[in-house]
Amino acid sequence: MTTAATKANHAGAASCTYGSSRTQAWTQSAEGVSLVRRTPKARPILVPARPENVQIDLSRTALVVIDMQNDFCHADGWFGQKGISVKPMRRPIPLLNRLLPAWRKAAGQVIWLNWGVRSDLRNLSPTILYHGKRRADAVGYGEHSPLDHGPAVVAGSWGAQIIDELSVDEADIHVYKHRLSGFWDNEFDSILRQQGITTLLFAGVNTDRCVFSTLQDAAFLGYDCVLLSDACSTPSAAYVTRAIHFLVQQLHGFVAEGSALLTALSAGPAKGRALRSTSTNQEKS
């Protein structure tokens, strides 16, 4: 839907729609402007999760895929050329290749949230710049690696592009971020609210860094949060991931599995039936 799509009605007068989604739009006619939004029909599915199973509404839910981009997931990217193994970052690829088509088939919204900094780095603090570089002789944000694919994680560069192994659809939404959290210094929150999104499913890398930082801020802003544990990964030690799962289900939302979401999508609508949890509060080892 365009921001202002105009068409002629049968009487010859013009009508106009204002808004980036039908559920958040105004409509204008010869009689005036209607501020009444459409209420989307609920499309609930039941997903096994911890600490309790959750029912989500496909009409109000987005699958957020974080940082599955060349500079983190390709062997020739920024991380790979730093000597960091990209094997953990590539671990979600097979599951995402099954989950993304199923999610789109169910008319679910996909949002790609990637690092994409300014080329002049003017909005990055010394703390961010230091932790991206660490050593004076290393390659930092916006700098060029020896095998030069362009400046590291700069918006529009090769390193900021989604890896070729994952399919991208024209209906997907793309947002660049400039911090570990996707909600700082960009338009992510505004886009979600204008699409009527209230629930976020999180996938991508790294579990303990950008995924968790974004999920935590989403919870602070009032979004419903579900971490898809097997659709995320990190090179950090296993105990770090266990700690993140504990914190999410203890404080910020729910932990589910992308494979369970696939099963739920194939099972169809939950039709509002009563939920009874069969999960446990114990974190899987």
Q: What angle do CA 88, 91, 97 make, to 5 degrees?
A: 155
Q: Which residues are within 8 A (CB) of 26 and not within 5 positions of it... i.e. 6 or more apart? A: 17, 18, 19, 33, 34, 35
- Per-residue pLDDT of the chain (285 residues), as tens digits, is 444 444 444 445 578 999 988 888 999 999 999 999 888 899 999 999 999 999 999 999 999 999 999 999 999 999 999 999 999 999 999 999 999 999 999 999 999 999 999 999 999 999 999 999 999 999 999 999 999 999 999 999 999 999 999 999 999 999 999 999 999 999 999 999 999 999 999 999 999 999 999 999 999 999 999 999 999 999 999 999 999 999 999 999 999 999 999 999 999 876 545 455 444 333 343
Instruction: Specify the pLDDT at position 270.
Output: 66
Encode 180-216: b = buried (16+ Cβ within 10 Å), e = exposed. bbbbeebebbebbeebbbbbbbbbbbbbbbbbbbbbb
Q: What angle do CA 198, 203, 206 make, to 5 degrees?
A: 125
| DSSP symbols for 192-228 | HHHTT--EEEEEEE-IIIIIHHHHHHHHHTT-EEEEE
Instruction: Specify the pLDDT at position 173.
Output: 98
The DSSP bridge pattern shows strands 61-66 and 109-115 to be parallel
Instruction: Specify the pLDDT at position 272.
Output: 45
Cβ atoms 37, 31 nearer than 8 A: no
Rounded Cα gap, residues 32 and 40, in angstroms: 23
Instruction: Name the phi and psi angles at 233, rounded to 5.
Output: -160, 170
Rounded Cα gap, residues 115 and 178, in angstroms: 6
Rounded Cα gap, residues 4 and 7, in angstroms: 10
What burial class does residue 133 get, using C-beta atoms within 10 Å of its C-beta: 0-12 exposed, 13-18 middle, 19+ buried? middle
Q: What's this model's pTM, rounded to 2 decimal places?
A: 0.89
Instruction: Specify the pLDDT at position 271.
Output: 53
| DSSP symbols for 59-99 | GGEEEEEE--BHHHHSTTSHHHHTT---HHHHTTHHHHHHH
DSSP assigned state of 11: T
Dihedral in degrees, nearest 10, Cα atoms 163, 164, 167, 169: 80
- Structural domains of the chain, with CATH: 4-34 (no CATH), 44-267 (3.40.50.850)
Closest by CA position to 218, among listed 191, 182, 250, 190: 182
Angle between helices 93-105 and 258-267 (to 10 degrees): 30
Percent of residues in the chain assigned helix, strand, coil, to nearest 5:
30, 25, 45
